[in-house]
Structure 1
């Protein structure tokens, strides 16, 4: 009798385990189409969609255990007419808010850019988005969904190595510049456009993350910050006086080659009296005849043959030169 009761209990346990693992019960408990208000939308917008709608539940926007998590209606509006369906034979009405800048596959017209961005700014208004109003992107009617893929498990805009391709969709000139010989390591995934620019708006020029170009560059290039005893004025003013940040065919992202770059400010003869080029009998020859020796200001590293610390120096030689 005792053995029979043990067999019965074992059978009941196995039956319970089988029921828990059955597809019908598992779907009811865990499938995202059953979750809260979203069940109304995901009843139609399921895995058969051309876009991965249900991938939303693999993102922070789909954490159902968090009470702050939005529902479909939080972003797209209550959309009562759309949910009710076709009542007059004219096609299903559009949702209250449609994101994007092009017609959707269903033929719906995207909502006004201000309506779209306001739906996002309801939650994402602070921090990096403080300066969105009046920014270049906002004035150009760029909407959040032009850059962000909200329903994707991994938004390319938030992946460092993928982000530049999103930006280059509009910024073609910068894409070409990053293919030059000397560039920032965007293609290597060591940095992204947002390391220098805040696409949501900035108090500085060119959507920079800091107030000035120099301040932005020094975020990474701290060794150029100083303070130095002898400072190079163009460095303090703007790094782009000498460098082109997106790419150059000259080393160190320079705008032109020394000594010509230096000559843009330091025009006129230097301490040698010999013109740039070749000079018979060495630097003091003063000519440009065949067989002459090149001027030391124009060969090798040109001006940097002597002026090594072009960003600033603490060398006491500077003080000696000022006496």
Structure 2
């Protein structure tokens, strides 16, 4: 079955022209593609591999995880064993021919690495991978560790710290005074990056799990959804008009403090209150600035709520 998958994979690769921008003159990669076509697998499977690799603790750690389970029919180890992922042995003994390696120091392109993973992992959660931002610069192995009993990226306690190794701007934001309750290695929280984003890609901007930013926010903030009799246009348009979802120095996740935030759209001309900075003004009293009066800023259902005051 696994051999058939690889043959179908190679046929699809060449027939769709996926490799048109890949330098197939690369000797190692060409050798590996040729080996897949020949399909000369070892008769002894992992036993042949372990004759040389059994003293490598990283290799042996495979048997601690699901990919090394012999009793699981969907596991690579229950099929062509090591060769399910690293390709047919061919004349590899004595290092006469290479095998596929994975990760940053791989001997093949990210596309070929991912094609091995996707030959098994084909489902609705990964259908957007080829168009995902992640797929442009890295492979599955950049985030996932297969030779282990515990893939850290699958553990909510480590997910954020792994994502922010690359997403440094977001790392800065989530450590600001106002942020979502994200679980990190040093902080307990109820959310992770995958609460909002699909790391394997989606049909939306920023790989959101929902169809829009607002729909993503409404998953938790349902009270802001409406519909309202009086709607505040920036709220309907995009929550990030006013909020930074990853974190801010302003409560609650505001891009800037009121009234400066409000005055991005609303000029102060003709407003009944005195200028900001006067301790007796409506802006300053109570510490909530515009929200001292306009408390229902996300929308109002009150008959007299056209100014979002009630």
Contact 1:232 1:311 in 2 (8 A): yes
Match of 1:138 in 2: 135
Match of 1:73 in 2: 83
Match of 1:49 in 2: 56
Contact 2:209 2:216 in 1 (8 A): yes
Q: Report the structure number with the largest CA radius of gyration.
A: 1
Distance 1:50 1:59, change over 3 A: closer
Match of 1:312 in 2: 299
> In structure 1, how many angstroms separate the alpha carbons of the residues matched to 2:273 and 2:149?
67
- Tell me, yes or no, if structure 1 residue 129 matches structure 2 residue 126: yes
- Tell me, yes or no, if structure 1 residue 93 matches structure 2 residue 97: yes
**Cα deviation 1:298-321 (Å, max 9, x = unaligned):** 341111111112211212222699
Structure 1 position 269, deviation (Å): 2.8
> In structure 2, how many angstroms separate the alpha carbons of the residues matched to 1:295 and 1:219?
37
Structure 1 position 224, deviation (Å): 1.3
* Structure 1 residues 7-22: aligned runs within 5 Å: none
SS in 2 for 1:252: coil
Structure 1 position 163, deviation (Å): 0.6
Structure 1 position 60, deviation (Å): 2.2
Contact 1:161 1:190 in 2 (8 A): no
> In structure 1, how many angstroms separate the alpha carbons of the residues matched to 2:277 and 2:288?
14
TM-score by length of 1: 0.74
Structure 2 segments unaligned to the other structure (5+ residues): 1-43
Structure 1 segments unaligned to the other structure (5+ residues): 1-35, 87-91, 103-108, 279-292
Distance 1:160 1:277, change over 3 A: same
Distance 1:43 1:225, change over 3 A: farther
Match of 1:296 among 258, 274, 282: 282
Query: Alignment RMSD, CA only?
Result: 2.1
TM-score by length of 2: 0.77
**Cα deviation 1:167-189 (Å, max 9, x = unaligned):** 11111111111111011112324
* Structure 1 residues 112-123: aligned runs within 5 Å: 112-123=109-120
**Cα deviation 1:254-275 (Å, max 9, x = unaligned):** 1000111111111133541532
How many residues are paired up?
A: 257
**Cα deviation 1:224-256 (Å, max 9, x = unaligned):** 111222111111111110111111111111100
Which structure has more relative contact order (CA 8 Å, sep 6+)? It is: 2
